[in-house]
Structure 1
Amino acid sequence: MHTASSIARITALAVGIAGALAFSNADAAAFQLKENSAKGLGRAFAGSTSAWGDASVVATNPASMRLLDGRQFQADLSAISFSADFEKFDARYNGTGGPGTGAPVSGGNGGDAGMIAPVPAAYFHVPFGENDNMHFGLSLTAPFGFKTDYDKDWVGRYHGVTTDLKAVDLGAAFSYDVNPYVSFGASVFVQHLTIELTNAVDFGAVVNGAAQQKAAAAVLAAGGTPAQAANAARQASGAAAQQGFYPGSADGYASLEGDNNAVGYVLGGTFSPSEDTNIALSYRSKVEHKITGGKGKFDVPPAVQVALGMPGSGLFVPTSGKATLTLPASLTASVTHRINDRWTVMGDVTRTAWKPSFDKVTVDFASNQPDNVLEFGYNDTTFGSIGTEYKLSDTITLRGGVAYDETPTSYAHRDVKVPDVTRKWLSFGLGWTPSEKTEFNFGYTHLFTNEPAINIVSATGSTLKGKYDVGGDILAASVNYKF
């Protein structure tokens, strides 16, 4: 039947496995999640690792555990409402892997691909040692996650239908206070990553393109000229079309599931030049996931199975796969200054090293499916925020903040899985402390965005052009209990 080289360009990319292993509803850049604290959300995460009284520092900068008041447990829950509506589309077959008909791809705009997603977090802190100068903490957070879900028959189905990625961290932290003004800390976490992806495969274009390449190869092998090979390919394409194999004539679907556990760490230092000022620096390591047990499944029309010689060809059959996916490292500088008994101001800057992690991903299939190297072209990003707190009374605290959140994507590399764009944050928050032991916090953020545009070509030759109307709102609540 067909050789691997005759279908390699079509099949591996059509499956979209590498897309699954790189992507999966987030409200920091791409699929990074900052939503680990209702208190932090209320000030756009300014002072995220340097402000007093937020137990989320157990996960983000253990050195700042000295800013916590005694033993405590904190639970946070954020709800992210993310919308992504594709509009003004132009989808056509451009001839790659099939005849250059220029015909439009059928289907609608896919509906709202976003969703409302819960993001939980929990923290435990206990001081110990002489004068409580050492600290131990536990944390459960979700630092990465994304989900887009389109109608199954939408116009961009060959580029993606469902993409779902979740990363959950379970961490243990320790810090040591050199004195009341200097502390250092570290944490180690185990990260569980799960991925699921589905996309349509244009098997009509796959079979038609394979017939063209087989006919052209036969002519060239017999000593024919390139012009004769091109003519043979056109004739083979017409014959395949008469048999019902042309772009859009025989859709199937591919899906992939994978998971892995890996270990990372956080290092931090917190410095207080005065009793009213904290400066914190923290580094979160990259996490390398070596996925070895991924499961690929394919829904292939019966006629296509015959045309491709399945299962003997070893193409589009259930298979395992392996790939290495690296979630990025980040460096955060955070400052908090207490102006007086009522006003506090703070700021944050985070640099995330997407570029080395998401330059490319290689997927190695256990079947005859050709390996695939996919270029992502992600760039490093900067997140910056400023915020403030105002103590209205002994029990009520008001918060606010703004932030600039840079996307790692660009027009040249943006796709339907993560239609990301740079965003601006406007945040508000409220804290209520009804007793010395109990504190409740609420935060809200609205995201202001532009309309990200895409212009992409699938492996089977369908071009998708258009833009997205994207938006986001985040609501969070937490309870902190001291014991």
Structure 2
Amino acid sequence: MTASTFARVTALAVGIAGALAFGHAHAAAFQLKENSAKGLGRAFAGSTSAWGDASVVATNPASMRLLDGRQFQADVSAISFSADFKSEGGRYVGPTGPGTGTPISGGNGGDAGMIAPVPAAYLHIPFGENDNMHFGVSLTVPFGFTTEYDKDWVGRYHGVKTDLKAIDLGAAFSYDVNPYVSFGAGVFVEHLTIELTSAIDFGTALYASPGGAQLGFRPGNADGSYKVEGDNNAFGWTVGGTFSPTEDTNIALSYRSKVEHKITGGKATFNVPPTAAAVLAQARPGQYVNTSGKATLELPASATLSVTHRINDRWTVMGDVTRTAWSPSFDTVTIDFASNQPDQALPFKYNDTTFTSIGTEYKLSDTLTLRGGVAYDQSPTSNEHRDVRVPDVTRKWLSVGLGWTPSERTEFNFGYTHLFTDEPSINLVSATGSTLKGKYDVGGDVLAASINYKF
């Protein structure tokens, strides 16, 4: 086997082992805003400046003064994400270059999307003179994404399964300078888990090596696979300020830090066909063997400006702008394997994104509140860097919601959002020269419910 062929195979294994550093994932990409049924009903307009939503414990502690006394709030959102691939051709490498060989077998992979629950919970306790100080505890899921295709689908060399979850447990404190100005801060510990699987085309790599054809290797006839897993705990923080120039207007500024995850105990498991394993073991001992690995992954920082204005006793309007700093965190990630597998720098090339929304609430009666909102959610991916693991695209939101307050102590909220998207396209070349081209039919719906109890 030539050095250049082994370099291509190594690049493939290292590249797909990116789950140690994250893989490509979802929101923009894999960022989740679904932490409040009340917020979802107005497309998260006024997310940190509206009255009466305990999710501010996690997103902007300074706005805890907008909560009415001691309370506990539990939310759950059901996210339905669909991703149906429509292939426009996949071919192995041929005599004249990538994609000029025989067609790759396999279907379109089925619906790679998911239906997944996203829980959240918040506790708020005011204390001090005139309750001018506030303490809060939160449990949220700020990042998460899953795609899974059929194992033998046409794009199997680019990805089969991607699964990421980040769960935050936080504590927050705020101080009210006066009824119109407050500042707050919070800290949280974040638990990150990652799993990534894919197929490896050893047939192509070994066919190109000296004697490979005589041994019977052909593109696609010696598929292997891999599974990469990693997890880590890390800390982050939030700060914010909330200002009320009038009793009917709130302006909130908040910042969530980036979170640096140093994955030191990642695990890569390779499944190599016996015939290929014998050749690989002789030519490159210590490669494509089960091993540990380490990498540093930074989940991005974000800043939010949120404004809410109460027009009268019935109508309230609100708006949000959030900027997420993907580019410094997801430009390039380097993986360091414990085996002889060479280190590799993975270019993600994510761009910074902006999320904007406007919404409204209408108090239909003393017990019923109607909500609505629209949003523009920019994707960090682009046509030249989009892949099968996260077929993400910029989307538009349309949201509606309902609040029901049957008593002074209990409030129920429901929210629904439908996502409108275009058809994202991909045009990929794997490390062994196979190509994949096509478009996705993607869609999304979110349904959320919550209960808030004052005690």
Please tell me the TM-score bracket, short chain as reference.
Answer: over 0.9
- Specify the SS of the correspondent of 1:308: helix
How many pairs are equivalent? 454
* Equivalent of residue 293 in structure 1, options 259, 265, 271: 265
C-alpha distance in structure 1 between counterparts of 2:427 and 2:24, whole Å: 20
2:378 pairs with 1:379:
no
Q: In structure 1, what is the equivalent of residue 221 of structure 2? A: 249
2:340 pairs with 1:368:
yes
Shift of 1:7: 1.4
Shift of 1:99: 8.8
C-alpha distance in structure 2 between counterparts of 1:371 and 1:290, whole Å: 16
Q: Against the structure 1 CA distance between its residues 427 and 101, is the aligned structure 2 distance closer, same or farther, given a 3 Å change threshold?
A: closer
Shift of 1:3: 8.0
Whether the 8 Å CA contact 1:24–1:165 is kept in 2: the answer is no
Shift of 1:206: 2.3
Percent of aligned positions that are identical: 78
Shift of 1:417: 0.4
Q: In structure 2, what is the equivalent of residue 18 of structure 1? A: 18
C-alpha distance in structure 2 between counterparts of 1:5 and 1:464, whole Å: 22
Which amino acid counterpart does residue 413 of structure 1 have in structure 2? H
Spell out the pairing of 1:72-471 with structure 2 (5 A cutoff): 72-95=71-94, 102-209=101-208, 211=209, 236=210, 239-309=211-281, 313-471=285-443
Which amino acid counterpart does residue 323 of structure 1 have in structure 2? A
Shift of 1:94: 2.7
- The CA deviation string for residues 274-301 of structure 1, in whole angstroms up to 9 with x for no partner, is 0000000000000010101000001111
C-alpha distance in structure 2 between counterparts of 1:334 and 1:298, whole Å: 48
C-alpha distance in structure 2 between counterparts of 1:3 and 1:261, whole Å: 41
Which amino acid counterpart does residue 395 of structure 2 have in structure 1? R
TM-score normalised by length of structure 2: 0.97
Superposition misfits of 4+ residues, deviation over 4 angstroms = 2-6, 95-101
Shift of 1:4: 7.0
Which amino acid counterpart does residue 17 of structure 2 have in structure 1? I
Shift of 1:241: 2.1
C-alpha distance in structure 2 between counterparts of 1:41 and 1:24, whole Å: 26
Whether the 8 Å CA contact 2:286–2:339 is kept in 1: the answer is yes
Shift of 1:133: 0.4
C-alpha distance in structure 2 between counterparts of 1:275 and 1:296, whole Å: 57
C-alpha distance in structure 2 between counterparts of 1:311 and 1:172, whole Å: 54
Greater gyration radius: 1
C-alpha distance in structure 1 between counterparts of 2:129 and 2:321, whole Å: 34
Structure 1 unaligned residues grouped into runs of 5+: 212-235
Which amino acid counterpart does residue 52 of structure 1 have in structure 2? W
Q: Which has the higher helix share?
A: 1
C-alpha distance in structure 2 between counterparts of 1:293 and 1:145, whole Å: 20
Whether the 8 Å CA contact 1:24–1:147 is kept in 2: the answer is no
Shift of 1:23: 3.6
- Specify the SS of the correspondent of 1:241: coil
Spell out the pairing of 1:62-77 with structure 2 (5 A cutoff): 62-77=61-76
TM-score normalised by length of structure 1: 0.91
Which amino acid counterpart does residue 168 of structure 1 have in structure 2? I
C-alpha distance in structure 2 between counterparts of 1:305 and 1:98, whole Å: 26
Shift of 1:81: 0.2
Whether the 8 Å CA contact 2:134–2:174 is kept in 1: the answer is yes
Whether the 8 Å CA contact 1:25–1:82 is kept in 2: the answer is no
Structure 2 unaligned residues grouped into runs of 5+: none
Shift of 1:242: 3.3
- The CA deviation string for residues 137-167 of structure 1, in whole angstroms up to 9 with x for no partner, is 0000000000000000000000000000000
C-alpha distance in structure 2 between counterparts of 1:100 and 1:189, whole Å: 47
- The CA deviation string for residues 7-55 of structure 1, in whole angstroms up to 9 with x for no partner, is 13322323511255334685x4000000000000000000000000000
C-alpha distance in structure 2 between counterparts of 1:101 and 1:60, whole Å: 51
Shift of 1:314: 0.4
Shift of 1:249: 1.0
